[in-house]
């Protein structure tokens, strides 16, 4: 867990840079795996039990973690260091005052340089591990901007175009960006759930995780009231793929 980096810390908030492959919250299914929550609880105890983890409020149950990102997604996580900050940040997420930006590499050429994807997302009744666009799903809205179009050339395979995107989800549904990009026929590179098994298997020959990174976040500081911004650089494994494609 030493790979988890602290981007910023004060008396109220802790901004983490989560590496890909680390689960955020503990659950029955995470036994045997160290999570961000385990890392935080160990940290609080080392610092003198600032947060008694046997309390029953959501703040203590989650070790201050305000939101989640997928196991393979890297990037920024906000952690509250006290209950007042936790409730303030939760309210900001609910009121859509938190602004997030992700970087993703998607299959195909996205023709529109900017756009909006607004379709409801819900858990698939026939596959509880996956989400999709469902008429009875929850409202989901993602804005996107094309950064760059790249060409993917592999031996014995027809060259394919890929699009590097900046995505700004206005809602926070599980797998929202992944589902929305699949919906417009531009699934994320190496996404085993949504890009198709064969495509993802080929993609993972050069990248062992899907290409999605939580790059930026902006919100109002729970104590000071001013808007604060934080950024996480693209991890080496993702930057290496871009360098390879640009060559």
Catalytic residues, by residue number, are: 70
Q: For the chain, give the longest Cα–Cα distance.
A: 59
**Residue 174 burial class via C-beta count within 10 angstroms: exposed 0-12, middle 13-18, buried 19 and up:** middle
CA distances from 117 to 60, 85, 164, 180 (A): 35, 31, 16, 7
Can you tell me the distance from the alpha carbon of 169 to that of 103, in angstroms, rounded to the nearest whole number? Answer: 11
Nearest 10 degrees: Cα torsion 150, 100, 35, 242:
10
Based on its alpha-carbon atoms, the radius of gyration of the chain, rounded to whole angstroms, reads: 19
Under a CB-based contact definition with an 8 Å cutoff, are residues 168 and 144 in contact? yes
Sign of CA pseudo-dihedral 102, 21, 193, 235: positive
């Amino acid at each position: 867990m030493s790979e988890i980096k602290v981007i910023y810390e004060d008396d109220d908030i802790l901004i983490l840079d989560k590496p890909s492959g680390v689960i955020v919250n503990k659950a029955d299914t995470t036994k045997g795996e160290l999570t961000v929550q385990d890392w935080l609880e160990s940290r609080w105890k080392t610092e003198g039990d600032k947060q008694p983890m046997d309390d029953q409020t959501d703040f203590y149950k989650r070790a201050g973690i305000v939101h989640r990102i997928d196991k393979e997604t890297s990037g920024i996580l906000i952690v509250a260091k006290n209950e007042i900050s936790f409730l303030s940040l939760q309210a900001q997420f609910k009121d859509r005052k938190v602004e997030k930006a992700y970087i993703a590499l998607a299959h195909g050429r996205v023709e529109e340089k900017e756009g909006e994807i607004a379709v409801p997302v819900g858990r698939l009744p026939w596959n509880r591990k996956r989400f999709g666009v469902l008429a009875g799903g929850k409202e989901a809205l993602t804005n996107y901007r094309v950064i760059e179009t790249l060409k993917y050339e592999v031996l014995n395979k027809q060259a394919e175009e890929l699009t590097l995107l900046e995505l700004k989800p206005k809602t926070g549904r599980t797998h929202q960006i992944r589902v929305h990009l699949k919906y417009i026929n531009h699934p994320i590179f190496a996404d085993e759930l949504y890009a198709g098994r064969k495509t993802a298997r080929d993609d993972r020959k050069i990248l062992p995780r899907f290409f999605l990174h939580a790059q930026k976040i902006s919100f109002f500081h729970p104590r000071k009231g001013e808007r604060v911004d934080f950024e996480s650089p693209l991890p080496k494994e993702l930057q290496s793929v871009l360098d390879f494609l640009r060559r």
